[in-house]
Structure 1
Amino acid sequence: MAAIDLMEKTTVVDAGTDLAKAISAASKEPNILHFGVTNNGVYAGLVDDRVLRDFTGPSSTKVGKLTAHPKTVSPRTSDEDVMAAFLNGDDKVLPVIDDGKILGVVTRWGALSSMVASNAVKGKKISEYMTRKLVSITEETTISQARKTFKENNLFRVPVLDKQSRMTGVISTYDLAVKVSPHTAGAARQSTFEPTLLERIGKEPITSIMSTNVASVTQNDSLSNALKQMIERRVMGLVITEEGKPIGMLAAKDVMRACLMEKPAPIQIVGLKEDETMLKQSLFDECNTFLAKWNKTIDLAPEDSLTLHVKSKVEGKKKRFEVKSRLTIEGNVFSSRTPPNVDEHKQNWDLHLAVRESLQELAKIIKKYAELKKKRAMSREEE
């Protein structure tokens, strides 16, 4: 299954469109807000409720000033690579781009729909993948305070509790984007002592915009049931409850991680045809050499794994190989492939060289990950 099979429509607006007008056109989709932005007909970026989470300016702002640039996929990108793209970032939707034009988007639950017929989550419990560190707010929390909580904790959804710590609703970035952002056009202050419209809205209790129809499950429920709920209710996360009280969250990314990490063996080589299996041991050796080298940099854990997907095609009297490499590190999924174009890659008539080139591309990605991880660690130490 490819991105084109998972794709959904998205509203497309010009970069000069007012935010309020764009939101009005795009907010017909429940639980998520997104619209593509073009400049002279060419894709220029995307705006979703994640982008608007921290935005407090006037709704007359032109959307071209707000565009984010999430990872993009082509119509031919595989469903596995789509999930890997979601896992390696915070994007809620991935634009599907072809020849500079946006065709649509793939949402997180759209990506999950490809796993319905799979056995990847069969027999697994929610308790194995849920996040137990829970951030919540109370019914007395104001909209302004909730926005601050979202920003400080980099969240998209939090449960709302009453005085008995029972859940009465959920507030999400979608609620903030659709129910608050379009109404801040008159943000100009009339006098030094008069609050702006944005400030007045910010003092409203969160109960005025929260959603009360909450999608929830228990930690003993199956992961397949959670997958079904996310797709049917079109939500990107479920609240885990126990006796009416929230004890954790299960995000779409948690389910994706379970799907992509179903095979825990350190090295997997799949796709070899019968007459190619004699090369399997030498390919294992290539993989072991690769892991031994990078283990010094990224400290691979026993649960991390490297998978090679091999495809071969007979052309005349020769075989042409395409190899996709996938490495899981700390729950993240990194993947690369051998360039399939013969002009770009003249060596893919040899399987070992195809594997080597695929691993070289993977090494570039891992190097960036290791450097970013090091920078974050240094930043935390300085704080």
Structure 2
Amino acid sequence: MGIISFQGARPKVKKREDTPIQVSDYMTRDLITFTPDQSVMEVIETLVKHKISGGPVVDNNHRLLGIISEGDCIKQLNESRYYNMPIDDARVEKFMAKDVETIDGNLNIFDAANKFLQTKRRRFPIIENGRLVGQISQKDVMKAALALKGQNWRDK
């Protein structure tokens, strides 16, 4: 008589090559963006309404021009009060950060986490073929950590 196994079927273990671990696996693709000619008040309304802390500024071809943040808006509010200037005239292009560092969508998510620590930034845009395709935030990195819990942290 042959040997009978009572062990049952074993679940397939996910190979690491199949495990999502790149920035592109966790980045936000459906972004709220702004244009350089928008008013800062419109940006403030959008940030508050959507509970976000900033967003990319793009042109008509979806090329990244800068980033506008809560801090940029607060700076404008402060200046308008100090100089007693109407805030409705303030445009995004004057207050956005123009020197924007981006991240490659193929970067390992934990290398991206390290980049967040080194630069103290809250978000990085992702550019492909000259166009904005997404954004990775610190919160996205934390979501990745939860999704990968119990697995190896390295991509090797």
Task: Give the TM-score normalised by the residue count of structure 2.
Answer: 0.74
How far, CA to CA, are the matches of 2:124 and 2:145 in structure 1?
A: 17
Structure 1 position 158, deviation (Å)? 0.7
Structure 1: gaps of 5 or more residues: 1-121, 188-195, 266-383
For 2:76, the equivalent position in structure 1 comes to 180
Structure 1 or 2: more strand by fraction: 1
For 1:9, the equivalent position in structure 2 comes to none
Structure 1 residues 207, 227: CA separation in 2 closer, same or farther (over 3 Å shift)? Answer: same
Contact 1:123-1:222 at 8 Å conserved across structures? no
Counting matched residue pairs gives 133
For 1:169, the equivalent position in structure 2 comes to 66
Structure 1 residues 263, 144: CA separation in 2 closer, same or farther (over 3 Å shift)? Answer: closer
SS in 1 for 2:29: coil
How far, CA to CA, are the matches of 2:82 and 2:121 in structure 1?
A: 32
Matched, 1:159 2:56: yes
The alignment yields a C-alpha RMSD, in angstroms, of 2.4
Contact 1:144-1:203 at 8 Å conserved across structures? no
Contact 2:77-2:87 at 8 Å conserved across structures? no
For 1:233, the equivalent position in structure 2 comes to 119
How far, CA to CA, are the matches of 2:62 and 2:26 in structure 1?
A: 24
> Out of 18, 23, 47, which is 1:126 matched to?
23
Structure 2: gaps of 5 or more residues: 1-18, 152-156
Rg larger in 1 or in 2? Answer: 1
> Out of 21, 24, 38, which is 1:141 matched to?
38
Structure 1 position 155, deviation (Å)? 1.4
* 1:85-110 residue CA offsets vs partner (Å, 9 max, x unmatched): xxxxxxxxxxxxxxxxxxxxxxxxxx
2:39 maps to a residue whose letter is T
Matched, 1:250 2:136: yes
Identity %: 25
How far, CA to CA, are the matches of 2:62 and 2:147 in structure 1?
A: 35
Structure 1 position 123, deviation (Å)? 7.7
SS in 1 for 2:66: strand
Matched, 1:224 2:110: yes
SS in 1 for 2:61: coil
Structure 1 residues 205, 125: CA separation in 2 closer, same or farther (over 3 Å shift)? Answer: same
Structure 1 position 252, deviation (Å)? 0.4
